[in-house]
């Protein structure tokens, strides 16, 4: 990684504008064949000559390369980590990856469930660590292994946090495991109830007790919560893994080409048809140029 996080070749506003093209709102517009915002950026930075006769897919790939080199923000690192690390771990049948999984008041950057549960919190140079301790405390109540992903130059700063938390460092696109996370199978049932959908916590109760007790829409949460609190930790952990992996998430990623879009496709939970539609739309030739 370069010593200066913000490149002097581009203004900060320009790089931020570039990073916004990989946002959820922008991709949703593209899925609707709306290129107005992208055209505005191309014209704003007088890129018409550079992309004359090109398509939007070429434009996106070029911007991704610029961001990768000069403004490696959270999207870039999440996408690179997804492409170079998590996909390799996705071999087990039934494995699933979640993007920005809500855990009560916290949102996990990336979470993976296969034989065990893992959570990954990504910190860039621009991130503040003021909320990290509370985030890690929440994650440890739910996940078997907790990792933070940090710039290698900040290793000394972050390794003082809870030693049970694993550390993965990055430098350019290189991710290196610096410290293994300690395995924990004790799930906090209070925190668990904040994550589970109604169908899921009822399924856990039914699976363990072989029946559902009498309850109604008004008391089912508390009834199930009480019963779940009595399930042994290891069994509760296994039941949690089983139900969470039944959620419908599309983890079929681009391989070889178009991997720049894997993170945003995961974020939007796009299916194969939607992903192909996105690429087809991006193959449109850029015409509205100054």
Q: What is the pTM of this model?
A: 0.88
Q: How far is CA 244 from CA 96, 197, 211, 240, in A?
A: 9, 10, 20, 6
pLDDT, greater one: 267 or 3? 267
Residue 106 falls within a domain, yes or no? yes
70 and 16 belong to one structural domain: yes
Query: And the tokens for 229?
Result: 């609190």
160 and 134 belong to one structural domain: yes
Residue 257 falls within a domain, yes or no? yes
Give pLDDT, residue 193.
Answer: 95
How far is 280 from 193, CA to CA, in rounded Å?
41
How far is 16 from 10, CA to CA, in rounded Å?
10
How far is 176 from 217, CA to CA, in rounded Å?
48
144 and 160 belong to one structural domain: yes
Number of domains in the chain: 3
Q: What is the mean pLDDT of the chain?
A: 90
Residue 223 falls within a domain, yes or no? yes
Residue position matching structure tokens 């550390």: 167
230 and 267 belong to one structural domain: no
Sign of the alpha-carbon torsion through 87, 38, 271, 105: positive
Could you say which of 138, 154, 179 is where a domain stops?
A: 179
How far is 17 from 137, CA to CA, in rounded Å?
34
Domain residues for the domain of 267 are 12-76+252-282
- Residue 251: CB atoms within 10 A of its CB come to 17
Q: How far is CA 287 from CA 17, 20, 35, 53, 204, in A?
A: 20, 21, 10, 8, 55
Residue 3 falls within a domain, yes or no? no
113 and 164 belong to one structural domain: yes
23 and 39 belong to one structural domain: yes
208 and 273 belong to one structural domain: no
Residue 117 falls within a domain, yes or no? yes
Could you say which of 160, 179, 198 is where a domain stops?
A: 179
162 and 194 belong to one structural domain: no
Residue 5 falls within a domain, yes or no? no
Angle, helix 56-70 to helix 36-44, in steps of 10 degrees: 60
Measured in residues, the chain has a length of 290
Could you say which of 179, 199, 220 is where a domain stops?
A: 179
How far is 211 from 203, CA to CA, in rounded Å?
9
194 and 138 belong to one structural domain: no
121 and 201 belong to one structural domain: no
Instruction: List the end-to-end C-alpha distance of the chain, in Å, as a whole number.
Output: 34
> What average pLDDT score do residues 214-223 get?
95
Q: Using one digit for the tens of pLDDT, what is the confidence trace for 48-96?
A: 778 888 999 999 999 999 999 888 888 999 999 999 888 777 665 568 8
Q: Using one digit for the tens of pLDDT, what is the confidence trace for 230-266?
A: 999 999 999 999 999 998 888 888 988 999 999 999 9
Residue 6 falls within a domain, yes or no? no
Residue 228 falls within a domain, yes or no? yes
Nearest to 167 by CA among 151, 183, 179, 182: 179
175 and 193 belong to one structural domain: no
């Amino acid at each position: 990684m370069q010593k200066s996080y913000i490149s002097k070749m581009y203004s900060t506003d320009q790089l931020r504008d570039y990073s916004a093209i990989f946002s959820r709102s922008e991709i949703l517009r593209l899925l609707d064949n709306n290129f107005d915002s992208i055209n505005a950026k191309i014209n704003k930075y007088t890129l018409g000559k550079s992309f004359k006769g090109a398509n939007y897919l070429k434009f996106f790939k070029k911007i991704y390369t610029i961001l990768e080199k000069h403004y490696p923000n959270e999207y870039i690192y999440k996408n690179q980590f997804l492409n170079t690390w998590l996909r390799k771990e996705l071999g087990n049948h039934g494995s699933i990856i979640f993007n920005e999984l809500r855990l009560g008041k916290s949102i996990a950057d990336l979470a993976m469930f296969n034989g065990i549960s893992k959570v990954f919190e990504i910190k860039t140079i621009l991130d503040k660590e003021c909320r990290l301790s509370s985030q890690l405390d929440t994650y440890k109540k739910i996940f078997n292994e907790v990792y933070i992903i940090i710039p290698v130059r900040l290793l000394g700063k972050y390794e003082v946090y809870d030693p049970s938390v694993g550390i993965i460092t990055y430098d350019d696109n290189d991710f290196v495991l610096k410290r293994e996370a300690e395995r924990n199978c004790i799930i906090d049932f209070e925190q668990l109830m904040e994550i589970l959908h109604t169908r899921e916590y009822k399924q856990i109760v039914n699976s363990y007790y072989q029946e559902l007790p009498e309850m109604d829409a008004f008391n089912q949460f508390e009834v199930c919560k009480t019963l779940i609190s009595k399930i042994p930790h290891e069994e509760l952990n296994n039941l949690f893994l089983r139900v969470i992996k039944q959620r419908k998430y599309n983890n079929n990623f681009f391989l070889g080409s178009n991997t720049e879009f894997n993170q945003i496709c995961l974020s939007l939970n796009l299916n194969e048809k939607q992903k192909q539609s996105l690429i087809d739309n991006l193959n449109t030739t850029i015409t509205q140029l100054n």
